[in-house]
A = this chain, B = another copy of it.
Amino acid sequence: MKLVTVAGPPSAGKTAVIIKTAVHLKKIYSKIGVVKFDCLSTSDHLLYKKAGISVVTGLSGNLCPDHYFVSNIDDCLQWAKKKGFDMLISESAGLCNRCSPHIKEIPAVCVIDCLAGAETPKKIGPMLRYADTVAVTKGDIVSQAEREVFSFRVRQANPKASVIFVNGITGQGAYDLSHAFSKATDVDSLEGAKLRFSVPAAICPYCVGEMTIGTDHQKGNVKKMVFKEVEEAAV
């Protein structure tokens, strides 16, 4: 069983990229499965189904999506083994810039789109910085200059990753990306495996559903802002 984690901001085109890449992967691995992590709802499983790819969906609902991911990824792997898959691809919505589902020794892909602006690679955090491969989407509707600047910025944020432009609609670049996926080695269980970076922490009353604002309702791991004016504001 091979495993690859794919993460990226919402609407970056993760599902489309995985579907186009799977076209090439299918020539090597006969059975490919996907586990799609999302928050409230998703209809992406229908897209996978249409593309002939087995998929399960995990919705974190009112739980922190990152913690939900870590608590379930090994179960996903066991499910995929039972189903006899050759490769399992996890797609996680990568909602919070602070989070990252990437696991040590498991190929990690980050999908971002170049419409998001030149500052985005800097802002995305561990999900991009700890990835082995960065797939950049939506390059077909921005200028060549913006593509080049964007790819430079990605390289600055993560000089170790290879950067591949992928068109989620035509599939251009997906062949190249499939090579990154095929570097996965066999993994039997994730029991004891380590995340590449910690997920966001949280223990405060809001973690258990508190809805009222005010210091009386704040206990535990609460962090208070420092009101520095713009000149010194954090970068």
Contacts and interface: CB of A to CB of B under 8 A. Distances in A.
Interface in A8-49: 9-11, 38-43, 45-46, 48-49
A67 B234 contact: no
Copies in the complex: 2
A122 interface: yes
Interface stretch (A74-82, A148-156, A177-185): A74-82
Contact of A56 (B54, B216, B230): B230
A117 B72 contact: no
Interface string A188-213: 00111111011111111011111111
Contact of A42 (B103, B227, B234): B234
A66 B99 CA distance: 14
3 nearest interchain CB pairs?
A: A64-B202, A191-B214, A11-B116
Interface of A: 9-11, 38-43, 45-46, 48-49, 54-68, 70-76, 79, 93, 95-98, 103, 115-117, 119-120, 122-123, 125, 141, 190-195, 197-204, 206-216, 218, 221-225, 227-230, 233-235
